[in-house]
Amino acid sequence: MMKLSNITKVYGKGSLEVPVLHGIDLTIEDGEFVAIMGPSGSGKSTLMNIIGFLDYPSSGTYELNGEQIASAKESILAKLRNEHVGFVFQQFFMFPRDNAIKNVASPLVYAGVSKRERTSRAKDLLVKVGLGDRMKHLPNQLSGGQKQRVAIARALVNNPTILLADEPTGALDSNTSGQIMKLFTQLNEEGKTVIIVTHEEEIAAYAKRIITIKDGRITDDRRVTS
């Protein structure tokens, strides 16, 4: 469970200060499928980065499974990123010289997993995301949708409890987007907490809870009952 209380974020210093988040209160339970919506520049990514331990809030508290981590050391955050969350980005972010297997296995390198184990886990996940026949391909030999599948497999490889996706379909056509969202739905059904940032209604519609942000404040938080 994640509990964010009165989280603020201010970029820059002095006269260049840009306040982005203004007192966010948000609790997300394990196993939820959340979409964070809002117009461009509203602070979605900023919030997502704080949730995913990529950035520190300027103030406020963040409780993860009962522990305070808002001001934890960088090395502790690195460990949390490695073990607790998996990231999927709009721009995919691959290691361009590494094939699909190595890209998927990369987080395990920092987890100290043996090469043999890394390769076998990466292969299993590539099969799971439907890329069993593209395992040795380099990123530039894969389509956008395939790259995003590799990214999802990479996010899953260390068996995290939370999947964070920042506009994961932003660079994909609607057909491919649908497939990616079905994959997230499936992963949520298997028990992962899934948090997706998007500004598209159709994408948010896959989630079970939709949070709307405007100008750094939560303006709406509703659960979808199907």
Ligand X SMILES: Nc1ncnc2c1ncn2[C@@H]1O[C@H](COP(=O)(O)OP(=O)(O)O)[C@@H](O)[C@H]1O
Binding site for another protein (CB under 8 A): 49, 54-55, 74-75, 78-79, 81-83, 87, 89, 93, 95, 97, 106-107, 109-112, 154, 158
CA gyration radius, the chain: 17
**Whole-angstrom distance, CA of residue 222 vs CA of residue 208:** 9
- Closer residue to ligand X (CB): 51 or 94: 51
Q: Give the length of the chain.
A: 226
What's the number of CA atoms in the CB half-sphere (13 Å) around residue 42?
18
Choose from another protein, Mg ion, ligand X, none: what does 40 bind? Cβ within 5-8 Å by kind: ligand X
Q: Report the amino acid identity of residue 30.
A: D
Cβ–Cβ < 8 Å for 3, 27 = yes
Q: Is 81 in the site for ligand X (CB under 6 A)?
A: no
- Closer residue to ligand X (CB): 43 or 168: 43
Q: Is 11 in the site for ligand X (CB under 6 A)?
A: yes
Q: How far is the CB of 90 from Mg ion (least distance, A)?
A: 8
Per-residue binder mask for ligand X (CB under 6 A), 38-77, x = binder: x-xxxxxxx-------------------------------
Q: Which stretch binds Mg ion (CB under 5 A): 40-48, 62-70, 105-113, 170-178?
A: 40-48
**Whole-angstrom distance, CA of residue 220 vs CA of residue 226:** 19
Q: How far is the CB of 66 from Mg ion (least distance, A)?
A: 29
> The sheet that has 209-214: what strands, in order across it?
85-89, 162-166, 193-197, 33-37, 209-214, 217-223
